[in-house]
Amino acid sequence: MNKKYMLLIGLIAAALLLSFWIKQTPQHSMPRAGKIEQGASIVDVILPAALSKNAKTGEAIFNVKCAACHGSNAAGKNGMGPPLIHKIYEPSHHGDFAFLSAARNGVQSHHWPFGNMPIITGLTDGDIKSIVFYIRVVQRENGIN
């Protein structure tokens, strides 16, 4: 067998191994938002028939401080911020502390292709608790709990 032939077989084997390895490597679990228009909501949110007074307080603060990126009703805004009414943000995966931390420290992008979330100023712990209360009410209405 001549050297050229050996080299060719070696290259083919390497290519096969590489393609196998690429297939086996799990893709980062980023939900796909590619087909949705920029700025449009990312999920359909079912709203509760009525919001309690506490939930309304949270909604009002959310609308001022978070909706610019997370969308009305936290349905997400493509290109800006993810929907918080999403299984990723269910209480067992993103507990209430994750919301406090997100506002206080910002968030390094890791689930979505929208960049980092900045620190959100001008919120008391009580304000953030109200936001979480509101988000959880809407999450439950959408079967996320």
3 is a site residue for ligand HEC (CB under 6 A) = no
- Residue 96 has a CB neighbour count (10 Å cut-off) of 15
In Å, what is the CA distance from 99 to each residue of 12, 19, 86, 119, 136? 51, 40, 14, 11, 11
Name residues contacting ligand HEC, limited to 76-95 (CB under 6 A).
Answer: 80-82, 94
- Residue 10 has a CB neighbour count (10 Å cut-off) of 10
Per-residue x/- marks for ligand HEC, 126-145, CB under 6 A? -----x--------------
Q: Give every CB contact of residue 84 below 8 A, 6+ residues apart in sequence.
A: 66, 70, 74, 76, 135, 139
Residue corresponding to tokens 């290259």: 11
Beta carbon nearer to ligand HEC, 10 or 39:
39
Q: Are 58 and 133 in contact (CB under 8 A)?
A: yes
Per-residue x/- marks for ligand HEC, 43-72, CB under 6 A? ----------------------xx-xxx--
Letter string b/e over residues 42-59, b meaning 16 or more CB atoms within 10 A of that residue's CB: bbebeeeeebeeebebbb
Closest approach, Cβ 101 to ligand HEC, in A, equals: 7
Name residues contacting ligand HEC, limited to 94-123 (CB under 6 A).
Answer: 94, 98-99, 102-103, 107, 109-112, 114-115, 117-118, 120, 123
Beta carbon nearer to ligand HEC, 82 or 142:
82
Beta carbon nearer to ligand HEC, 19 or 72:
72
Point out which residues bind ligand HEC (CB under 6 A).
65-66, 68-70, 80-82, 94, 98-99, 102-103, 107, 109-112, 114-115, 117-118, 120, 123, 131
